Chain A
């Protein structure tokens, strides 16, 4: 069935690295995404990775993909207070081409 799993909460000290993990179900997923939602706002695409890649880096963001285990992670280096948000993992569901979102991980930054 369609299910994207991620832990609901993560607390990290300012300046440390944050790692948000996700598992997905569809082995035929072509694209996997990370979206960020700030309070009172819509979702904003942070980054995405194509399924034939195992890593993608974009400034402070590093995405790792383990296709064998269907595991995706997002690492945010040097976490700042502005990174406080909900992070959604999403997969492109191969069968009918829709995007399935995880339940979101709320990232809390400790001073």
Chain B
């Protein structure tokens, strides 16, 4: 039983296309995140949702739009893909953003390659 699962694992697409990555967690957590890891393995937070509400929105292009239909799901839609969007995108979840340890559990990642 995978705790945080994201699909697809690999995504290869042409520049200019629109694509979505899905994430689901079965841990009963309230908070979910999207991170981007570049080719040098640097990890940067993009978005965070707590109980379907956006709480962290870093300086990410408007082409990236997260959507949380319920607290167990956080999807990432990317419009007009660019070469620089090529990276590994990680979804994560934690019990809550306020108080406590805020230990984050990560999915296995989606490797996006834009050609």
Contacts and interface: CB of A to CB of B under 8 A. Distances in A.
Contacts of A31: 101-102
Contacts of A45: 103-105
Contacts of A35: 106
Interface string B89-115: 010100001100111111111000000
Contacts, number: 51
Contacts of B90: 42-43
Contact of B98 (A97, A103, A106): A97
B-side interface size class:
20 to 34
B12 interface: no
Q: Which of B42, B55, B90, B104 has the most CB of A within 10 A?
A: B104
Contacts of A92: 102
B43 A43 contact: yes
Q: Which of A35, A42, A48, A97 has the most CB of B within 10 A?
A: A42
Interface in A19-57: 31, 33, 35, 37, 40-45, 48
Contacts of B107: 42
Given A33-B103, A48-B103, A104 B97 contact: no
Q: Is the interface of A mostly helix, strand, loop or mixed?
A: strand
Interface residues of A, number: 23
19 contacts: A31-B102, A40-B108, A40-B109, A41-B109, A42-B90, A42-B106, A42-B108, A43-B90, A43-B106, A45-B105, A48-B101, A96-B55, A96-B56, A97-B98, A97-B102, A98-B45, A99-B45, A104-B43, A106-B41
Interface of A: 31, 33, 35, 37, 40-45, 48, 86, 88, 92, 96-101, 103-104, 106
